[in-house]
Amino acid sequence: SPDHAVRASVRRYIRRAALVHRHLDGQALASIGVPPGPQIGQALAALRSAELDDIVRSRRSATHFITNWLQET
């Protein structure tokens, strides 16, 4: 059924989220120019999403991603 397929997809996503490595933390984001406050949380959320989508796979690509993110916000 469609509900079963959706639940299975959610379970896979949650398992994957637990295994994906966080490449930068809030302190690292601040050091590359993310302003303190809500933007740190927004940057962490955007980075996490990119990590889950396999857009970001290393600290270097995470730094590049955040640099671009800063230019767009």
Residues 2-58 have pLDDT tens digits of 788 899 888 888 887 777 778 999 999 999 999 999 999 999 999 999 998 889 999
* Predicted pLDDT at 67: 96
Q: Around 30, how many Cα atoms within 13 Å sit in the side-chain half-sphere? A: 7
* Predicted pLDDT at 19: 74
Q: CA nearest 29: which of 45, 8, 10? A: 45
* Predicted pLDDT at 73: 84
Mean pLDDT across 58-65: 97
Residue 60 CA from chain centroid, whole number:
14
* Predicted pLDDT at 22: 86
pLDDT at 71 over 90: yes
The dihedral over CA atoms of 65, 67, 71, 73, expressed in degrees to the nearest 10, equals 70
